[in-house]
Amino acid sequence: METVDRLIESTRALLWERGYVGTSPKAIQQRAGVGQGSMYHHFTGKPDLALAAISRTAEELRAAAEAQLSAPGTAVERITAYLRRERDVLRGCPVGRLTQDPDIVASPQLRRPVDETLDWLGRRLAAVLAEGIAAGELDAGLDPTDTGATIVAVLQGGYVLARAAGSVEPFDRAVSGLLALLTAAVK
């Protein structure tokens, strides 16, 4: 793995484990196995490296979601596959969890890929729901934009509740409840 990739991957892991404040340049360098010169050769500083790490995490989340949301099947089947996919629930969403980091939220530059990803997810889910409505699979009274936003909110809230409880049960129950409501809109 190239030095730049080791730096980004180390930063991603540390951001998830420790948050922005707890992720020091020294800790990044140690985990990546590189010296200070290597880090500053590739990045102007911690914020620049954190942005690269957050952006990569956001890209991976979007790619994983897109794989399920663009797969064959009905709108509800694709959304179900997305919601039921393998996740490390107790660690939280690697993008959504960043919204709880005050230093990331306070920085428009670091918050941008987080905001863009959560916005993209809501819009992508809305598009899948709109396809389901157009195909006659879902009730025409279902608002795809509001429902897409609701799916994102339930998913993120499910992560928070699971972490608080130390159990995946609240997440699984939130997803099951959401899918029951969505299934009720199936024609």
Asked if pLDDT for residue 103 goes beyond 90, the answer is: yes
Per DSSP, the chain holds a count of helices (H) and strands (E) of 9, 0
pLDDT at 38: 86
Residue 86 contacts by C-beta under 8 Å, 6 or more apart in sequence?
A: none
pLDDT at 144: 98
Phi-psi group of 110: left, alpha or beta (phi > 0 → left; psi -120 to 50 → alpha; rest → beta)? alpha
Asked if pLDDT for residue 1 goes beyond 80, the answer is: no
What is the chain's mean pLDDT, rounded?
A: 95
Asked if pLDDT for residue 36 goes beyond 90, the answer is: no
User: pTM of the prediction?
Assistant: 0.93
pLDDT at 11: 95
Q: What are phi and psi of 186, to 5 degrees?
A: -75, 135
pLDDT at 174: 98
User: Smallest Cα–Cα separation from 142: which of 155, 154, 126?
Assistant: 126
Q: What is the pLDDT of residues 109-130, one digit of tens each?
A: 999 999 999 999 999 999 999 9
pLDDT at 35: 87
Report residue 132's pLDDT band, with 50, 70 and 90 as the boundaries: very high
- Mean pLDDT along residues 130-144: 96
- Mean pLDDT along residues 6-29: 93
Q: What is the pLDDT of residues 152-163, one digit of tens each?
A: 999 999 999 999
